[in-house]
Amino acid sequence: MTVDISTRGNAAVAHLSGEVDLERSPGVRRALLDALGRRMPLVVDLSQVSYIDSSGIASLVEAYQTARKQSTPFILCAVSAAALRVMQLARLDKVFDIRPTLDDALAAV
Protein backbone atom coordinates (compact mmCIF):
# COMPACT_ATOMS: atom_id res chain seq x y z
CA MET A 1 0.00 0.00 0.00
CA THR A 2 1.56 3.27 -1.11
CA VAL A 3 -0.96 5.63 0.48
CA ASP A 4 -2.89 5.21 3.70
CA ILE A 5 -5.39 8.01 4.39
CA SER A 6 -6.78 8.67 7.85
CA THR A 7 -8.61 11.54 9.54
CA ARG A 8 -7.13 13.54 12.39
CA GLY A 9 -9.49 16.20 13.75
CA ASN A 10 -10.58 18.36 10.81
CA ALA A 11 -7.73 17.22 8.57
CA ALA A 12 -7.09 14.25 6.32
CA VAL A 13 -3.64 12.72 6.70
CA ALA A 14 -2.05 10.80 3.82
CA HIS A 15 0.83 8.55 4.83
CA LEU A 16 3.03 7.78 1.83
CA SER A 17 5.49 4.92 2.11
CA GLY A 18 8.12 3.01 0.23
CA GLU A 19 9.16 3.82 -3.31
CA VAL A 20 6.94 6.40 -5.02
CA ASP A 21 7.96 5.80 -8.62
CA LEU A 22 6.37 5.75 -12.07
CA GLU A 23 4.60 2.50 -11.27
CA ARG A 24 3.08 3.72 -8.01
CA SER A 25 2.66 7.47 -8.46
CA PRO A 26 -0.64 7.20 -10.41
CA GLY A 27 -2.17 5.60 -7.30
CA VAL A 28 -0.69 8.33 -5.09
CA ARG A 29 -2.04 11.02 -7.41
CA ARG A 30 -5.56 9.54 -7.33
CA ALA A 31 -5.52 9.11 -3.55
CA LEU A 32 -4.38 12.69 -2.93
CA LEU A 33 -6.90 14.20 -5.37
CA ASP A 34 -9.69 12.03 -3.90
CA ALA A 35 -8.77 13.22 -0.41
CA LEU A 36 -8.82 16.85 -1.57
CA GLY A 37 -12.27 16.19 -3.04
CA ARG A 38 -13.51 15.99 0.56
CA ARG A 39 -12.50 19.67 0.94
CA MET A 40 -10.69 18.96 4.20
CA PRO A 41 -7.17 20.23 4.91
CA LEU A 42 -4.70 17.61 3.68
CA VAL A 43 -1.46 16.74 5.43
CA VAL A 44 0.94 14.42 3.60
CA ASP A 45 3.35 12.50 5.83
CA LEU A 46 6.50 11.65 3.84
CA SER A 47 8.50 10.13 6.70
CA GLN A 48 8.33 6.58 5.29
CA VAL A 49 9.17 7.48 1.69
CA SER A 50 12.42 5.70 0.83
CA TYR A 51 12.47 6.92 -2.77
CA ILE A 52 10.56 9.39 -4.90
CA ASP A 53 11.07 10.31 -8.55
CA SER A 54 9.78 13.14 -10.73
CA SER A 55 6.46 11.38 -11.28
CA GLY A 56 5.90 11.17 -7.53
CA ILE A 57 6.88 14.81 -7.12
CA ALA A 58 4.49 15.67 -9.97
CA SER A 59 1.65 14.03 -8.01
CA LEU A 60 2.45 16.26 -5.04
CA VAL A 61 2.62 19.35 -7.27
CA GLU A 62 -0.74 18.53 -8.82
CA ALA A 63 -2.30 18.06 -5.37
CA TYR A 64 -0.70 21.31 -4.20
CA GLN A 65 -2.19 23.20 -7.15
CA THR A 66 -5.62 21.60 -6.72
CA ALA A 67 -5.59 22.52 -3.03
CA ARG A 68 -4.67 26.11 -3.85
CA LYS A 69 -7.46 26.41 -6.40
CA GLN A 70 -10.03 25.33 -3.83
CA SER A 71 -8.33 27.16 -0.93
CA THR A 72 -7.75 23.95 1.04
CA PRO A 73 -4.63 23.82 3.25
CA PHE A 74 -2.05 21.36 1.86
CA ILE A 75 0.94 20.64 4.06
CA LEU A 76 3.84 18.18 3.75
CA CYS A 77 5.45 16.92 6.92
CA ALA A 78 8.31 14.79 8.23
CA VAL A 79 9.88 14.72 4.77
CA SER A 80 12.40 11.88 4.55
CA ALA A 81 15.98 12.69 3.49
CA ALA A 82 15.43 10.90 0.16
CA ALA A 83 12.31 12.93 -0.63
CA LEU A 84 13.83 16.21 0.54
CA ARG A 85 16.83 15.66 -1.75
CA VAL A 86 14.58 15.49 -4.82
CA MET A 87 12.46 18.46 -3.71
CA GLN A 88 15.62 20.53 -3.26
CA LEU A 89 16.90 19.55 -6.72
CA ALA A 90 13.52 20.58 -8.16
CA ARG A 91 13.56 23.73 -6.00
CA LEU A 92 10.16 22.79 -4.63
CA ASP A 93 11.28 22.80 -1.00
CA LYS A 94 10.52 26.54 -1.04
CA VAL A 95 7.18 26.10 -2.81
CA PHE A 96 5.51 23.50 -0.61
CA ASP A 97 4.46 24.24 2.96
CA ILE A 98 6.75 21.76 4.78
CA ARG A 99 6.57 21.14 8.56
CA PRO A 100 9.04 19.08 10.59
CA THR A 101 6.51 16.74 12.23
CA LEU A 102 2.93 15.52 11.78
CA ASP A 103 1.92 17.34 14.98
CA ASP A 104 3.40 20.59 13.66
CA ALA A 105 1.44 20.13 10.42
CA LEU A 106 -1.82 19.36 12.24
CA ALA A 107 -1.34 22.43 14.44
CA ALA A 108 -0.97 24.53 11.28
CA VAL A 109 -4.17 23.49 9.48
Which residues form the interface with other proteins (CB under 8 A)?
19, 21-23, 51, 53-55, 57-59, 61-62, 64-65, 81-82, 85-86, 89-92, 95
CB 92 within 8 A of CB 57: yes
Give the H or E element holding residue 97: strand 97-99
Give dist(CA 76, CA 97) in Å, integer.
Answer: 6
Q: Which is nearer to other proteins, 1 or 90 (CB)?
A: 90
Q: Which is nearer to other proteins, 9 or 18 (CB)?
A: 18
**Distance of closest approach, residue 48 Cβ to other proteins, in angstroms:** 17
Q: Which of 84, 1, 81, 70 is closest to 42 using CA atoms?
A: 70
Q: Which is nearer to other proteins, 81 or 107 (CB)?
A: 81
